Structures are given as C-alpha cells and as structure tokens.
A and B are shown apart, each in its own frame.
Chain A
Amino acid sequence: MQRPAGKRTYDMTTPAPSEAAVRARADLLTALVLVALGLAVLYLSWTMDRLEVRRIHPSTIPGLVPLVLGAALSLCGALLAWRSWRLATPGSGAALLRVLLSWTALRVAVVLALALVFTLGLVGRMPFWLAAGLFIFAFILLFETVLADEPRPFLVSLFWALAIAVAGGGGIYYVFGRIFLVRLP
C-alpha cells in the first residue's frame, strides 16, 4: 500500500495521532541515523587504502563500491527524512514516546534482557544444557505470570516452566550434541 506523499492520513478530530503519523516521526529519527551512517561509510571509503604501492588500476580500488553505497545510503536517508518531515504531524513525537514506554515495549525489553543475560552471561560459564534450562525456565515463568495479560495459576506455570526447561535443555543437548554431533557453545 503506497500512501500518497504529503497527504495527512488521519482525521483531525481524533485525539491521538494515527499509527502512520507516529511511524513518520520514527522514520525521521532513523533517517537521520541512516544519513549519519552513510556519511561515515563515505568518509571511511574515501580514506580507505588505495593500494597505490601495488599499482592497481585506480578504478579497482577497494573503496569504490562502499563509496557509492555510502553516497546512496545518505541520499535515500535524506529523501526519507524529507518525506517523513512532511508526513509527521504535531503531537506525533509524544505519541512515539508513548509507544516506546508502553506495555508491549516492556515485554520486548524483557525478552531482550533475558536473551542477553543467557547469551553473554550464562553460555560458556556452565554446561550448555544448564544454561538453556535456566533461560527457558525464567522466560516461561515471567511471561506466564508477571507479564501475562491473563496470568495462569502460578503452580501450573511453575510446573510447565520446569518441565519444558528440563525437556528443552536436555533435549537440545541430546539431539544436537549426541545424535547430530553438532558442537554446542
């Protein structure tokens, strides 16, 4: 679905800006990041070693394609910034902030935090099956009780979390490590 550029997509009487307007504001922010990234790539490719010592043809320097890509990324980022600037409406910045501080954002943050603790903290410091079991147990318990919209009885969740943690951690260890002979972290 392509929205015509520059057209206000929501009704002025509605109190909260539409999802499209919020996204336009978020797009503006990412577009600026992309422009910065593009310029950084441009600078790094321009200053990249041109291997003059090895007398390669100047049109085959290693920085050629990254240079073009950096320029293209900056251009696309700038166009996107311009487009989102026209689509964004007053109040959409605050609405974006509300999205970032919402319940769903918290759920995502918790998943991410658990994943980071598991990957960076647990893996490698203990046997893999134990690390996997701990992660699965914490994940299921948190999302079925504290973070659930309709929490299940605590004991039921505890039982399932334990069962899946043991079966999952042990099962993955057994299937990958023993049957398919894959090295585990």
Chain B
Amino acid sequence: MFDGLILLGQGIVHFLTPTGLFNVAWATLLGLAIGILPGLTATMGVALLVTLTYKMPPDQAILTLMCVYLGAIYGGSRTAILLNIPGPPANAAATLDGHPLARQGKAGLAMGLATTSSTLGTLVGIFFLAIIAPVLSEAALRFGSYEFFWLALFGVVISGQMTGSDTPLKGYIAGILGLLVAMIGMETLHAHQRFTFGIPALGGGIDLIPAMVGAFGLAEILSSMKRTAVAHIAPVNDRVIPTFSEIFRYWKTIIRSGIIGTFVGIIPGVGEDVGSWSSYAAAKRASKHPEEFGKGSQEGLIAAETGDNAVVSAAMIPTLTLALPGSAAAAVLIAAMLIHGIRPGPMLMVENPAFLYQVVAMLLLATFANLVFGLSLTRLFIKVLSVPRERLMAVIYVLCVVGSFAITQRMFDVYVMLVFGVVGFILREMKYPMAPLVLGIVLGDLLDLNLRRGLQLTNGDPTPFFTRPISAVICLIIVVVVLMSIPAVSKRVRSLLTRSGGAQARS
C-alpha cells in the first residue's frame, strides 16, 4: 500500500524537472489544439507524434504522448460547445447540452464545467488505475497461453459488439479484418511467412503506426474535406471559471460517470465515445430533471465530459497490465512503448514497477496542465477553432507522410499508410467502427501465437481452453456477447427478462 504511494511520489518528482514541465506544457497545448480542431482526433495526434518523440528518452516520450492524448480528449469539448460539432468523436455527447448552453449565452460556464468535470473524471480514472492495475498485474502473472488467447479474442469481440454503430456485424467484420492484417508476415511459432506473395517488405508484417496514421490521419482528412457546411462559432461573453457549488451540486453524477467511464476504459478497445455516451445515458436516467437533457442541462454536460476523460486513465489499466489496448489511442501508445523498449504486459510490474506509477504521475500532470490552460487560455483556443480546414489539412497530410516514413525509413510504410487511409475512409463512410480493426491488428499475433502454443503444449487437445477456470469464464462471456448480438436471440432474452415487469405495468 505504502510502497505504491512512495512509488507514485517518486514518479511525480521524476517529472518535476525543467525538461519534464516543458514537455508537459507544449504537449498539452498541442493536444488541446488537436482536440479543438474539427477533423483531428486524439488517436491521430498520438500516432503522428510518435515520430517526433522517437529520439527522446523513453519516459519523456511517453509523457509527451500522454499529454497529447489527454489534451486532445479534453480539447474536443471546446469544439462541441462552441461549434456544435465534436472535435474527436469522444465529445459527441458533449454537443447535446454544451451547445444549447452556449446558445443561451452561457458558453463560458459550459466550458468551465467541461474543464472541471474533465479533470474530475481523469482523477476518478487515475484513482482506479492506481488501485486496480497492480492487483490485475499480479493476477495476470498466473495467466497462461489459454487465458491470453481468450483475452485477445474477448478484446476483439467485445470491441466489435460495443462499437458497431448500426449492427454489431460491422464491428465483428472490422475486428476480423484487423486480425487478418496481423496474419500478414512471419508468424512467431514456426517462423513461416504467411500472405507475403513474394513481396520481401511484407515479411516483417504491417506496422501498427503507419496503419494507424492512415486509418486515423488520411481517412480523417478525406472525411473532413468531404463536408461542405461551415459551422458558426458561438460567442463567449460570460465567466469561464465555475464556482464550487456549480460543480459539486452534481457530485453524484460526477462519481457515477467516473465509475462508468472507468469500467468502459477497462474493457479493451471500447474507447472514450462509448464511455461518454453511457455515462450521459445513465445520468439522464438518474436525473431529477431528465427533460432538460439535450436542451442545455449542466448535469448532462458534466456527465459526458467526466465519462470520456475517466476512460483515458482507465484505458491504461488493461494497456499496461495485459498489453490489451483500452482504446484506439492506447494501441498507439503500446506501439510507442515498444519502440522505446518498454514492454507492457503482466511482466511490467516485475521488470519496471516504477513505470506504472510514472504513468499515473503523467496523467496527473497532464490533467493539471489541462485545467490551468483550459481555464486561462479561452481566447487563444477560439482563434485555433477558426483556422480554415482547407489550409490545415494539406499540412496534416504532409505530416502523415513524414510520420509513417520516419520510424523504419522505408517508402513501403508510406504506401501502407495510403492503403489504410483509403480503406479506412471507405469503412468509416460505411459506418464500420475503427476500434475493433485496430484491436485486431494489435492482438492478432497474441491470439494466433497463444492458440497454437496452447495446442502444442497439450498435443492438440483443446480441453484446457475450456476447463481452466479463468479461460472458462472469459469463453462464456464471449459466447453470451456473440449470442446477444443476434437480434432473434436478444429479442427473446429481453422479452423473457421484461415479461414480469411489463405485466406489472399493465395491471
């Protein structure tokens, strides 16, 4: 218990150097700008910045990326409030009440509430990260090939189920496509080259960073340039810093949304947008004034912003302890950590226990920077908001080319970026979610290796996959999730569950 506190203290002190603080400041400002600019997302920002942090020391590099990630998720609330379009999709729920508040002349109040509730959400997430991660990490040490196979499958399936917008089928398809991408190149068990079609560059497989830069960079540029409508920025005339009573009147909502966000963050590949929508929905159900939701409810805005920011910290729990990315941006963070020689997973707490607490310290510093900048630099951010996208997107594309080229310095990765950009854009337009695709690419190798290694250990007997207790539980959850996504089954189960309630209501 106290070891943890001491390590956390050391983690914070570790970054309180001029270099550390300088990195926090510029990375947070950059993250905020990325979040504010419509069409740029947190994942894209983190993926593009991996290149820039390539030559930095590992801890400073991850600190920079984390500040950009958190800054972008928070910065998007500005766009949501003032323009009525979300910066990153994570802030979509914040538009519902944030923009009506701005139209009532309370833009400053809305921004202040969003800022403080973002901070509180992150703090709730950090609290759970510091408590759950060490415990989970210790439990994960007992996981074998069987459990890791199921965990990888669980990640892809649950992410597909929860992010598939009009049908879970599309989520599953995206997940399978991602897994198939991971199959390209040399497999790890027998060193056999799969699906390389005689192209030497494919032998090493598809790197995550160029793929992500394509799917989140180029694809975003294409969809952002597609839109023709120009939005109108709401004016800000009132005070930005909220009073204590304005915030703590809703302490129940804050805690509830923080816990929901944490829970969503722990589930692999289910990102900030789901966290924000589910805590918004929960707040609406529990509220005394649900009729105000969507018309400028302060409670709704607080719920949405607390929820999505709690996801960011909580997403680090599976990312660090199991190497299962908690969100799409966390997948890029895993790739960045690997580049810098940090290996997330159950061994992290054994090999490098200080790192977990350094991550907690990074999140604390980034949150603090967000709070300070968010409440003080309002005018500057409105200027950023009015940058025309025609002028911005061209520069972003050049950065995409640089970002995908720089890590391994081959043009092949730039072509990978182009292909993923075009395919990613088409899939996005057809409402296929991107998170399961990313998760598939990250987890494909883990899934493949552990399945076949498990089979090798038992000489082809699959029973341990179903009889070991943890394996059995995860397997059961996967089966239930898949069954519930079949409309006929879920309808029947729901009618069974609600029959008694419905009968009471009618009588």
- Residue ranges of A at the interface with B (Cβ–Cβ < 8 Å): 1-5, 20, 23, 26-27, 30, 34, 41, 44, 48-49, 51, 54, 56-60, 62-66, 69-70, 72-73, 76-77, 79-80, 83, 103-104, 107-108, 111-112, 115-116, 118-119, 123-124, 132, 135-136, 139-140, 143-144, 148-150, 160, 164, 168-169, 172, 176, 180-185
Contact = CB atoms under 8 A, between A and B. Distances in A.
Contacts of B169: 76, 79-80, 83
B177 to A, nearest CB: 7
B496 interface: no
Contacts of A107: 225-226, 228
B83 interface: no
A168 B401 CA distance: 13
Interface class of chain B by DSSP: helix
B218 A115 contact: yes
B444 to A, nearest CB: 8
B5 to A, nearest CB: 36
A132 B401 CA distance: 10
Contacts of B487: 4-5
Interface class of chain A by DSSP: helix
B395 A69 contact: no
Contacts of A66: 180, 183, 194-195
B126 interface: no
B172 A143 contact: no
B350 interface: no
A41 B323 CA distance: 28
Interface stretch (B28-36, B279-287, B447-455): B447-455
10 contacts: A3-B167, A4-B487, A23-B431, A59-B452, A79-B169, A80-B170, A135-B398, A136-B395, A150-B230, A182-B55
Interface string B388-419: 10110111011101100110010100110010
A180 B395 contact: no
Contact of A73 (B176, B390, B421): B176
Nearest to B189: A60
Contact of B172 (A51, A70, A76, A103): A76
A112 B222 CA distance: 8
A184 B402 contact: yes
Contacts of A168: 394-395, 398
B379 interface: no
B166 interface: yes
B187 A62 contact: yes
Contacts of B395: 136, 164, 168, 172
Given A59-B456, A76-B169, A184-B405, 14 more contacts: A1-B166, A57-B456, A60-B453, A66-B194, A73-B180, A80-B173, A104-B228, A107-B228, A112-B222, A119-B414, A168-B395, A176-B406, A182-B52, A185-B411
A31 to B, nearest CB: 9
Interface string B217-245: 01001100111101000000000000000
A69 B176 CA distance: 6
Given A184-B402, A185-B401, A65 B172 contact: no
A20 B431 CA distance: 11
Contact of A182 (B51, B176, B227, B451): B51
Contacts of A70: 180
B394 A182 contact: no
Interface of B: 51-52, 54-55, 165-167, 169-170, 172-173, 176-177, 179-180, 183, 187, 189-190, 192, 194-195, 218, 221-222, 225-228, 230, 388, 390-391, 393-395, 397-399, 401-402, 405-406, 409, 411, 414-415, 418, 421-422, 425-426, 430-431, 447-448, 451-453, 455-456, 459-460, 487
Given A119-B401, A124-B411, A176-B51, A149 B228 contact: yes
Contact of A65 (B225, B227, B447): B447
Contacts of A65: 179, 183, 447-448, 451-452
CB-based closest 6 A-B pairs = A139-B394, A59-B460, A143-B390, A62-B192, A136-B394, A60-B452
A119 B167 contact: no
A77 B411 CA distance: 33
Nearest to B487: A5
A32 to B, nearest CB: 13
A171 to B, nearest CB: 9
A136 B393 CA distance: 9
A61 B242 CA distance: 62
A41 B180 contact: yes
B75 to A, nearest CB: 21
| A3, A119, A132, A181: residue with the most chain B Cβ atoms closer than 10 Å | A119
Nearest to A54: B190
Contacts of B194: 48, 62-63, 66
Given A66-B180, A136-B395, A44 B195 contact: yes
Nearest to A58: B460
B394 A185 contact: no
Nearest to A4: B487
Contacts of A83: 167, 169
Nearest to B166: A3
B398 A136 contact: yes
Contacts of B405: 183-185
Contact of B397 (A3, A23, A59, A135): A135
A74 B195 CA distance: 18
Contacts of A56: 190
B456 A111 contact: no
B398 A103 contact: no
A34 B187 contact: no
Contacts of A143: 225, 390
Contact of B183 (A3, A69, A103, A111): A69
A139 B448 CA distance: 43
Contacts of A77: 173
Contacts of B187: 62
Given A83-B167, A132-B398, A135-B398, A51 B222 contact: no
A144 B456 CA distance: 61
Contacts of A172: 395, 398-399, 402
